[in-house]
Amino acid sequence: MTAGPALMREARAEAPPQAGRGKALIAYVGAFTTPERRGHGGGVNVYRVDPNSGAWSHEQLLEVDNPSFLTLDRARRFLYSAHADLEEVSSYAIDRQNGRIAALNRRSCGGKNPVSLAIDPTGRWIVVANYASGSVGVLPIEKGGALGPLNDLVSLPGKPGTDCKEQASSHPHDIVFDPSGRFIAAPDKGLDRVFVFRLDPASGKLAPNDPAFVATRAGDGPRHIAFHPQKEFAYVINELSSSVTTYRFDAKRGGLQPIQILPSVPASFTGDNTGAEIAVAPSGRVVYASNRGHDSIAVFAVDPRAGTLTPVDWALTRAKSPRFFCLDPSAEILYAANADEGYSPQPNTDVITSFRIDRAKGTLTPTGQVIKTNSPCAIVFAGV
């Protein structure tokens, strides 16, 4: 494809000065590529992020189908992607000199439409949430970063939710290890449950926790989960009800107890909306959640004792459908990936917009930087 140079020019032209971050970063951007998703992202785009200006310059486009979710190993030597609407996950080697990637291999993940990946603390296993098939798979990570054949596969049991279209069957949409690495949480949008598993690091086999899940309200459609980095709390963005649930997390037994539910949109918003992404700031003082419809990043203050949330602000993304967002490694900038899945391309989508984070309050201020890149739906960072 020939999109790379154009992307490079636009990113450099539109990036405003930002605070220095010490060393250059490499940003890997996953995208939808197939007609079924009306995607046109081309594959994995690789950008160099200037440590002084914050400008993004395009380095590489590796053409692969629907690399919709990305994750890195802990040493930042290998990149892994799930392939939306397919039944595979892939591995890539990272050139430590320039950040470019080269494909290693692809493996079956045992189910259709893998949407999330997580690597266990030992670095030996990668766990995959298969959205369309309602299952969670485990693959080994071999020496040299390549993936081995599927090692375990479990189906998620339960009664479908109340939304006949979105909850016709099990739809796990996220897979996340708790901070200790002992438990795995899998929010299931289709069954209105958040499942919890244990992974045996020796065998790579999954076992249901006791209790095996916590039920949400009917029709909530839990999508993504984020654990508090220091305390025993977890936060779930509910896609269908546009709400955020706070859970007390038993770090010894893996149990989740709901203690609060708040809307993810302002009370004054009367339009259609679905929740998408959620993250806790490294400080543990702020939770962020994204809204598709209101097209915003919600900012919630965390009560340091109770773990409950208080709305602080909603930062408009100034682009349509923030499917994904993340904080940069310094936690100074929040990047929102706006991919208007299911619609024809529009002028205010297919962009990554950025916000400077107020360290004291956690509030977001637009930097004015706009990275034009097609169908972005995941971002991860590595240093060079």
Distance of alpha carbon 143 from alpha carbon 313, whole angstroms:
46
Show the low-confidence residues of the chain (pLDDT under 50): 1-20, 343-344
Contacts of 356 (CB under 8 A, 6+ apart): 18, 332, 333, 364, 365, 366, 367
- Indicate the helix (H) or strand (E) that contains 11: helix 3-14
User: Beta-carbon neighbour count of residue 200 at 10 Å?
Assistant: 13
Distance of alpha carbon 55 from alpha carbon 235, whole angstroms:
32
What pLDDT does 83 receive?
97
What pLDDT does 346 receive?
54
Distance of alpha carbon 16 from alpha carbon 367, whole angstroms:
7
Distance of alpha carbon 221 from alpha carbon 252, whole angstroms:
27
Which phi and psi angles does 306 have, rounded to 5°? -85, -20
The C-alpha R_g of the chain, in whole angstroms, comes to: 19
SS3 20: coil
Contacts of 223 (CB under 8 A, 6+ apart): 173, 174, 187, 189, 236, 237, 238, 239, 275, 276
What pLDDT does 21 receive?
52
Which phi and psi angles does 290 have, rounded to 5°? -105, 145
Distance of alpha carbon 196 from alpha carbon 187, whole angstroms:
9
pLDDT digit string, tens, across residues 234-272: 999 999 999 999 999 999 999 999 999 999 999 999 999
What pLDDT does 60 receive?
98
What pLDDT does 7 receive?
34
Distance of alpha carbon 348 from alpha carbon 339, whole angstroms:
10
What pLDDT does 22 receive?
63
SS3 89: strand
What pLDDT does 250 receive?
98
What pLDDT does 305 receive?
97
Q: On the CB side of 219, how many CA atoms lie within 13 Å of its CA?
A: 6
Distance of alpha carbon 381 from alpha carbon 4, whole angstroms:
19
